[in-house]
């Protein structure tokens, strides 16, 4: 079973994406609920601020997949009781920009899909061996329907969303629970300067939804919840109608 305390409260949390606004908001909420040890993995994890208590900073580069085996082996050796892993890293480049310079599209694919897929698989293997836990992927509703304004970013999220749900099916008979979180527009450093969208939320709103989803053992969480039904309808619309909505 997952190494929680007698009341089922997670004790050790790993955040991959140490400076992610959504990831940090989720970690803070888990700490408020009783988590004692936080591990921050990122290219510059010490930049994360505002966390108190037992914090372990680890260098993690999503694109350096050759180093992931050692990273996770060392990590789970030092912290054999990690019971929540948050995969929260990602990048978002301007759509027009990546059409002019495709290298940006490749970078999004390398980070948002390849790096995240490597992290999910490595983490799930170690969690299964160490007794289970919760593995959370921060996806996006952008991956549910191609749109002119962000189809490259959306494709990277669609791929990793698909992969995480497949991993959840593969682990259904184990003590590793995989949860996919699909927010809409979130006001973060990554979206600063972008035009807000309907149903936009703050990182704290996503964090509350994640904690609720973990308690309920949800497989997929939409934030806000109404997006589950909005996206179900949008996916049924013809392309010409969706394109007109963006005009």
Closest Cα to residue 59, out of 48, 13, 184, 90?
48
Rounded to an integer, what distance in angstroms lies between the CA atom of residue 116 and that of residue 187? 22
Closest Cα to residue 246, out of 199, 200, 187, 197?
197
CA angle 238, 147, 240 (to 5 degrees): 30
Residue 179: is it exposed, middle or buried by C-beta count within 10 angstroms (0-12/13-18/19+)? Answer: buried
Q: Is 49 helix (H, G, I), strand (E, B) or coil?
A: coil
Catalytic residue among 113, 151, 153, 222: 153
Rounded to an integer, what distance in angstroms lies between the CA atom of residue 210 and that of residue 15? 13
Rounded to an integer, what distance in angstroms lies between the CA atom of residue 141 and that of residue 177? 21
Rounded to an integer, what distance in angstroms lies between the CA atom of residue 134 and that of residue 13? 10
Count of alpha carbons within 13 angstroms of residue 11, beta-carbon side: 11
Q: How many Å separate Cα 144 from the centre of its chain?
A: 15
Verify whether residue 113 is a known catalytic residue. no
Residues with catalytic annotation?
153
């Amino acid at each position: 079973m997952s190494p929680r305390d007698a009341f089922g409260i997670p004790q050790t949390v790993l955040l991959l994406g140490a400076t992610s606004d959504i990831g940090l908001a989720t970690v803070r909420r888990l700490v408020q609920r009783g988590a004692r040890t936080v591990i921050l993995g990122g290219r510059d994890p010490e930049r994360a601020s505002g966390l108190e208590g037992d914090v372990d900073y680890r260098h993690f580069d999503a694109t350096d997949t050759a180093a992931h085996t050692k990273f996770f082996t060392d990590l789970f050796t030092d912290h054999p009781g990690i019971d929540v892993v948050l995969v929260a890293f990602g990048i978002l480049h301007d759509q027009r920009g990546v059409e002019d310079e495709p290298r940006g599209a490749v970078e999004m694919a390398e980070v948002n899909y390849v790096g995240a897929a490597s992290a999910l698989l490595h983490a799930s293997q170690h969690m299964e061996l160490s007794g289970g836990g919760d593995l959370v992927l921060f996806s996006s509703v952008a991956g549910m329907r191609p749109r002119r304004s962000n189809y490259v970013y959306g494709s990277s999220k669609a791929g990793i969303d698909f992969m995480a749900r497949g991993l959840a099916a593969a682990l259904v008979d184990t003590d590793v629970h995989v949860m996919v979180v699909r927010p809409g527009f979130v006001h973060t450093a990554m979206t600063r300067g972008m035009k807000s969208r309907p149903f936009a939320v703050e990182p704290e709103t996503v964090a509350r939804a994640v904690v609720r989803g973990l308690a309920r053992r949800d497989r997929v969480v939409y934030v806000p919840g109404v997006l589950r039904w909005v996206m179900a309808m949008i996916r049924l619309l013809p392309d010409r109608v969706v394109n007109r909505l963006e005009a």
